Chain A
Amino acid sequence: MRGGDGGGRGAGRGRGSGPSPGALRAAATAATALGLALILGVAAGTVSHGRHDNATHVARMAAALWELPAGGDAAVTAFLEGRATIGPDEKAGPGAHAYRAGTLEPAAWIAVAPEEPGPGWPLIPTTLALLGLSLMSAWAFARRRFPPPSRYPTLPALPATLLLAATAVASTSWAHRALGDLSAGRAVHGTRAIEVALAHGADPGHAPRVAGLPWATTEGLASPDELWTLPREVAEAVAAAPPSAPAYTVTVGGATYHVARTAFPTPTSPAPPIPQDPTATEPDAANPANHLHLVLLGYEDTRSPAIPLAAAAAAPALATILLLFLLPLSARPRALRRTLTAWGFLSPAAALLLLFTFGPLLFSLWISLHEWHLVDPVHPFTGLANYGALLLDGEWWSAIRNTAVFTLHVPFAMAVALGLALLTRRSRRAVRWARLALFLPGITSVVAIAVVWKWLLDDGYGLVNRALEGVGLGSVAWLTSPDTALVTLMAISVWMVVGYQMVVFQAGLAAIPRDWYDAARVDGAGPLQRFRHITLPGLRHTLFFVLVTSVIGSFQVFGLVYVMTEGGPLGSTDVAVYHIYREAWEFLRVGNAAAMSWVLFAVVFVATWLHFRLLERRWAHA
């Protein structure tokens, strides 16, 4: 404390001006108080504004279908559009994820435009206050810890200040957006609808369908499994509600769903859902079974503003840490300049990695702790529930087992590749010509390869089975039997990777000194002995490298499975990445999928660690 004051005075003397430490401290305290007051004020305003009479919202539920097929159910469209107010940013609304990702058909989701724009939050003053707060407190603290030199470098302070400003603005504006989400104008985030056919006993195909809406029969409505597009607990509540219940609410985590049923006559314009059905008749408008029934779920974000507030508070803290990192360096201008230069060179890569790798890693962990549905704006925090559910998820563990079995192709591939490397060891010219053939499978389009193999291994007409039948061996169900499909994929994978592995082994072989072989030959060692005692030990680092990278790679197989088997038959080729892909982009349960990907990471990590533990030590001391 005392020392810091002395340093502050020293700086003041050196430059002949500058605020006294006392004034600095007072300013920092004032800025802190102001910032805190603003944060609390924003929070209070948000919370009081955000509570709305939900019943009126449900009553005024404005629904809009996004893109009905041209010339489709015009009357339905008209009806829905009559209720709709399509906002300017409607396309960015909930459901847009799945819509744009192509995993749902157009118009699968109904979005509600904000009823009225939310009150504009005092973004700029608060940001400035937080910026001032962060700068002041950091400055005051840093001066106390690190007495500045008499000549203070001012130029390097510029990037530091800019960085601070950017951090503070970015985090506060994010916090404001998150707070704004909780405010009045966005109390109801959107509406989702399930179309219900009430046609008991009738062909469900006769019920009119609004293009792409999630769809259920009345029986299906009573089963949570049929309502998989909804968060689990909502689906359970909807399924448990008596059909006569007109309106009720379900609250899951931070989301409140207002469930209402509505029915209205459907257009008489022909909209045959199954055109091929010859028994299809014109829907009878008087029959209530042919009315369009919708279960509408307006959902509302009722989370507490704790997390956005914490983020806003974290901004000054982060800024302080950054300053603390830079200030001690500023005492040594040359070191600072060197460091800034180096980070200047690093910054493109570092910024991109931070944004698209390190940030997403943390974000993914965060997602995995929530019940996070791709199209729902609220994601209730569920702690480790996703991981707990995974423990009991047999399909997931079978996917992990399939992946582990698939990985067993690696040693086979390595054996073949090593054989090829030995084969081509002494004839470099032959290698150059052989390389294209050996290498092409590994570097070219995986999808094209998958397609050609699918054709080669076709049950009835594939070249392989025709050849087998030709020599009287009988055909094999390469990809259509659960017993063989995974092994087939493993064989194709061996075919794909041997070329690459061969080149790595060639490099490793070239590094083994020739003298060793000469000495062995003088001692009378045969080829097998030379292989066992010179080649293998000489290659052990290369072998280890290839093993580890190939195992990590084979845990991530996706393209082959996606094109050739789609995880089938009977889930026998459902590997981990494909399983995660389906969970996230087909079933839209990204929370679950994120948890799965972390489990996969753990498996990969343990496998790699085991390799290091069991093999490298032994091989290193061989």
Chain B
Amino acid sequence: MRDVRRRAGGGPSAGLGKGARALLLAAACLAMAAPFLWMAATSLMGQLEVFSSGRLLPETALWSNYPDALTAQPFARYFLNSLLFAAVVVAGQVATATTAGYAFARLEFPGRDRVFMLFLATMMVPVVIVLIPRFLMIDALGWIDSYQGLVSTELVSVWGIFLMRQYFRTVPRELEDAARVDGAGPLRIFWNVALPLAKPAVATLALFAFIDAWKNFLWPLLVTRSMEMRVVEVGIAAFHSTYEINWPYQMAAGVVAVLPIALLFLFTQRYFVRGIQLEGIR
């Protein structure tokens, strides 16, 4: 497979030399990474230095910006909230998507495909439509500014259900049939046979759920009010409006927000790529 792809040249880039292509790619990477590099550089500059000097790198690295910025607002708490939020969302989405995906892929019941299409159709609906009613519902429950209000609407992902269904359909049935012959019930088959086989898809789903939860801005902005309940995204937005021109502090906070995702991506990128490709090919 790999050597096939290596030889399968096509398109205009095939006309370019290897060196030219590497150069182009490097330029593209630099363009993509430049804002992050500038963010890191600014985060180490002095508050006035950013306005006066035209330097690209700080004169002396001002590491104290980090502790100062991160204690100016309770960023530790923001991180804890984000982590908790993301963890619960991941657990919830994995639980709902694996069970529902298994039902759609393996179990038979009247109206199965119609229900599945109905689920899929919600992917086209802009989230903003349901925000107002969700907000009113969460408010009626008295859950505004609470963890349960933050997570409860995010526990199911139709994309995840779709992903798991597609994956379960590719897993051979023989093992499940064998378990059934041995007298295992549906729950046992799901838990002991199907789910372990679906680990790669679960990893992909968990990863995407984590990233989406970490990036989620609008919903936490609506349902949290107190500083203690903010997630990182909302915290940085609030920090930005408070420390409007203190760019080094803001950049320090930004670096700290970007870093966990960058590290996560570094170690898990094959799951990322697989998830995107599963989604893209259908």
Residues of chain A whose beta carbon lies under 8 Å from any beta carbon of chain B: 92, 96-97, 100-102, 329, 338-339, 341-343, 345-346, 348-350, 352-353, 355-361, 363-364, 367, 419-420, 422-428, 430, 432, 434-441, 443-449, 451-456, 461, 463, 466, 470, 495, 498-500, 503-504, 506-508, 510-512, 514, 517, 526-528, 530-531, 534-535, 541-542, 545-546, 552, 555-556, 558-559, 562-563, 576-577, 580-581, 584-585, 590, 593-594, 597-598, 600-601, 604-605, 608
Contacts and interface: CB of A to CB of B under 8 A. Distances in A.
A419 B33 CA distance: 18
A600 B273 CA distance: 31
A177 B149 CA distance: 22
Nearest to B1: A510
A41 B239 CA distance: 57
Contact of B107 (A345, A531, A558, A581): A345
Contact of A445 (B30, B104, B214): B214
Contacts of B131: 584, 597
A360 B112 CA distance: 23
A346 B101 CA distance: 8
Given A452-B38, A593-B132, A601-B129, A443 B99 contact: no
A97 B218 contact: no
A439 B155 CA distance: 26
A262 B282 CA distance: 67
Interface string B115-132: 100010010111111111
A445 B258 contact: yes
A503 B95 CA distance: 27
A498 to B, nearest CB: 8
A363 B133 contact: yes
Contact of B129 (A436, A470, A531, A597): A597
Given A339-B110, A517-B8, 11 more contacts: A101-B225, A350-B115, A356-B153, A444-B257, A445-B215, A452-B36, A504-B280, A512-B10, A517-B10, A581-B128, A594-B132
B139 A601 contact: no
A338 B12 CA distance: 55
Contacts of B247: 455
B158 interface: yes
7 contacts: A100-B144, A339-B109, A349-B99, A425-B13, A451-B250, A577-B128, A585-B222
> How would you classify the secondary structure of chain A's contact residues: helix, strand, loop or mixed?
helix
A604 B124 contact: yes
B86 to A, nearest CB: 12
Contact of B21 (A355, A423, A443): A423
A345 B103 contact: yes
Contacts of A510: 5
Contacts of A466: 54
Interface of B: 2, 4-15, 21-22, 24-25, 28-33, 35-36, 38-39, 42, 50-51, 54, 95-97, 99-100, 102-104, 107-110, 112, 115, 119, 122, 124-137, 139, 142, 144-145, 152-153, 155-156, 158, 161, 186, 190, 211, 214-215, 217-218, 221-223, 225, 232-234, 236-237, 240, 247, 250-251, 253-254, 257-258, 261-262, 265-266, 269, 272-273, 276-277, 279-282
B190 to A, nearest CB: 7
Most chain B CB within 10 A, of A355, A419, A444, A545, is at A444
A436 B262 contact: yes
A439 B5 CA distance: 22
B111 to A, nearest CB: 9
A435 B96 CA distance: 31
Nearest to B144: A100
B129 A452 contact: no
Contacts of B218: 558-559, 577, 581
A424 to B, nearest CB: 6
B36 A348 contact: no
B129 A364 contact: yes
